[in-house]
Amino acid sequence: MAPPKDTSAPPSPSVGVFSITRTVIIEAPRERIWGILLDFPKYNEWNPFARGQSLVDKSKKPLGDQTPAPGKYLLISFSMPPTLDPSVKPKPAFEYITNVDHANYRVSWRNVDMPAWLLWADRWQSLTEEGDGKVKYETFEVFGGILAYVVKWFMSGHLEEAFEAMGKGLKERAEKVEPAAEQA
């Protein structure tokens, strides 16, 4: 199966071999959570799955401007199983940002490490107001291509654990009261 052509909306799980979804409710302002989610250079401080994210050019050289935008490339250093242990050496993944929707609080990227017929993966993250100061963080990824079957059989449990750990880390980071806010 080919990856979906439309990058303005999340793909249906039915277009891939399998998908993983995780949701967590966070009690913090949506703008704060969004800021944390898009602050790729600080992922190493809170994210046990994506230990680092850096915007790069097509040859994987870091860009001076680390503001996420569609059309930019993203080099992710990930740990599976997820851990904040600095002695664990993360693995790289090369992605292409397909959507940064500030109005609707959605961001997405697509794996570009290999040809799509072999393996593709579309990752989406979104924030939705739930009322009473609560925000729903939802993340999901749809996997397709021949190797997606191998990923499903051997890695889906690890990916589920990693998505869960990222949601928990984001929740803890966003709900943490900053010292400056306590004094106000």
| Residue 108, in any domain of the structure | yes
d(CA 107, CA 99) in angstroms, rounded, equals 5
Contact at 8 Å (CB) between 163 and 138?
A: no
**Is 144 a member of any domain?**
yes
Joined tokens for residue 19:
């998908």
d(CA 169, CA 175): 10
Concatenating the DSSP letter of every residue in 31-94 gives HHHHHHHH-GGGGGGT-SSEEEEEEE-TTSPBPS-----TT-EEEEEE-SS----TTSPPEEEE
The parent domain of residue 94 ranges over 21-177
| Residue 6 maps to a domain | no
pLDDT of residue 47: 96
Question: Structural domain tally of the chain?
Answer: 1
For residue 16, is it within any domain?
A: no
Q: What is the pLDDT of residue 184?
A: 45
Q: Would residue 89 count as lying in a domain?
A: yes
> What is the pLDDT at residue 5?
67
pLDDT on residue 3: 65
Would you say residue 4 lies in a domain?
A: no
- Residue 7 placed within a domain: no
Fill in the amino acid letter for 122. D
**Model-level pTM?**
0.90
Average pLDDT of every residue of the chain: 92
Task: Give pLDDT tens digits for 30-83.
Answer: 999 999 999 999 999 999 999 999 999 999 999 999 999 999 999 999 999 999
CATH of the domain at 172: 3.30.530.20
Query: In this structure, are residues 42 and 66 in contact, taking their beta carbons and an 8 Å threshold?
Result: no
Does residue 182 lie within any of the structural domains?
Answer: no
